[in-house]
Structure 1
Amino acid sequence: MIEPARSKLRGLYAITPQGLAPANLLARVEAVLGGGVAFVQYRDKGTGGARRAELAGALRRLCRQYGARLLINDDLALALAVDADGVHLGGTDGDLVAARQALGSGRLLGASCYADFDRARTAVSAGADYVAFGAVHPSPTKPLAVSAPLSLFTRCRAELAVPACAIGGITAENASPLLAAGADLLAVISDLFGAADSAARASAYQPLFKEHPRDLPQSATF
């Protein structure tokens, strides 16, 4: 298990798309891992339990191979079953305090906070290791999502001192202002998995993190 120190929660965060055949999904995930993705979130609302567990296990092995971390979307039991690096919970997808207790200190807990800073404050109090704000841009995945302003990232860094994840319509071309505002994680679906060359597209993000270096305050580390 990779130690999930908050000071290391920074980088490109690939969220798996719906509708890909298992072999294609694994090939595309391996491509983005090769391009420098540091985190993968397995999001799958439609596949049956046995197949989801099989895919999650395969993704875990891929992530270990590339030194990346795997989180499971909205399924704490699956995350624990496949020894994933953590779980990400939406606003109605589980109790954060209970998830923190089940995960222990060795796994990550992420929380969707949309455009609600008070929700983020509550999530951090419950033990979340990072909070996600979005949609930061119009998103083909969630076209009706409320717009999240850049000020949320600046405020999160100043007041909560935990990493903030930006999500929603992010591309390599529009990502720089998010990092400048205080985002540490860039969660991307379409711009990675919809690209003709997913590895090259993932690689295009890497210089942006070097252009906006950041160390979290000491109080934010374990």
Structure 2
Amino acid sequence: MKEFELYVITGENFHPGRAMEDVMEEAMQGGADIIQLRDKKSSKLEVLEKARKLRQLTYDYGVTFIVNDHIDVALTVDADGIHLGQDDLPLADARQIVGPDKLIGISTHAIEEAKAAEAGGADYIGAGPVFPTNTKEDVVDPVATSYVQAVKAEVNIPFVAIGGIKLHNVDEVLEAGAERICVVSEIVGAEDVKGTTEMFKKRLAAAKGEA
């Protein structure tokens, strides 16, 4: 998969009155490397329409596009991949459906889940939630930066730290060994989406010694 640092997930409840595609375009302008469409409430038709808009934008910006849960939508719009939770379709079954070339990401909350995802052929994993987060209704308890350290030490596929990551705590996550972070509300709910995205990119660069 293409190298990435900053993964941004949609969260329309954080920007009422602003079109989802406009907000996500600003995130891409600010340097988001991966965009994920996550919509657990809209109808399939509405999710498909949103996916079509984001697929076009991600083509325009050369950004990787992931669809959460909806494998049929991902295939319909030719998304780059899908992201699944622990209670979704098993990884092996999902791979059979999407084929060898689509990316599959798996959410993990414990080192056993991370290792199982790696062994099962996941392309990347989400590690979290690192901090308390309200972006999902069914969120599990925070795993803290100690889980980031464990994944860094024991898992060889790319991982993205996720969950409650803000500008005020992102350095803790990077110091724990994360090289890739996922942000939702702090970016999509920002007054200046592009500027906030750029600030996260600067923190990532500084952690790598590039700034």
Please report the TM-score for the alignment, with normalisation by the length of structure 1. 0.86
Give the SS at the match of 1:150: helix
User: What is aligned with 2:51?
Assistant: 56
In the TM superposition, what whole-angstrom CA distance separates every residue of 1:24-63 from its partner, at most 9, and x where no partner exists?
Answer: 1011011111011111110111221222111101101101
Q: 1:123 and 2:117 equivalent?
A: yes
Query: Is 2:84 the partner of 1:89?
Result: yes
- Partners in 1 of 2:135 and 2:28 — Cα distance? 21
1:149 aligns with 2:144: yes
Name 1:219's counterpart in structure 2.
none
Deviation at 1:213? Answer: 2.7
Output the CA distance in 1 between the equivalents of 2:49 and 2:155: 37
Partner of 2:170: 175
* Identity across matched positions, percent: 33
**Cα drift, residue 178 of structure 1:** 1.2
2: distance between equivalents of 1:12 and 1:124? 21
User: Deviations for 1:170-190, whole angstroms, at most 9, x for unmatched residues?
Assistant: 112211221222223211111
Counterpart of 2:105? 110
**Aligned match for 2:75, one of 77, 80, 86:** 80
Alignment counterpart, residue 126 of structure 2, candidates 132, 138, 150: 132
2:182 is aligned with 1:204: no
The structure-2 alpha-carbon separation of the partners of 1:69 and 1:131, relative to structure 1 and needing over 3 Å to count, comes to: same
Shift of 1:93: 1.2
AA of the residue aligned to 1:156: V
The TM-score with structure 2 as length reference comes to 0.90
| 8 Å Cα contact 1:91-1:111 kept in structure 2 | yes
Q: CA RMSD in A?
A: 2.0
127-136 vs 143-152, which deviates more?
Answer: 143-152
Question: In structure 1, how many angstroms separate the alpha carbons of the residues matched to 2:63 and 2:168?
Answer: 24
Once the two structures are TM-superposed, the CA of residue 152 in structure 1 deviates from its matched residue by 2.1
Among 180, 187, 190, which residue is 2:182 paired with?
A: 187
Q: Is the 8 A contact 2:165 2:183 kept in 1?
A: yes
Q: How many residues align?
A: 207
User: CA 1:22–1:195 in structure 2 vs 1: closer, same or farther (change >3 Å)?
Assistant: closer
Helix, strand or coil at the partner of 2:24: helix
Determine if the alignment matches structure 1 residue 66 to structure 2 residue 91: no
Q: 2: CA distance between counterparts of 1:157 and 1:107?
A: 24
Classify 1:100/1:180 alpha carbon distance in 2 versus 1 (closer, same or farther; 3 Å): farther
Structure 2: runs of 5+ lacking an equivalent = none
2:150 alignment partner AA: R
CA distance in structure 1 between the aligned counterparts of 2:122 and 2:76, rounded to whole angstroms: 20
User: Which of the numbers 28, 35, 49 marks the counterpart of 2:23?
Assistant: 28
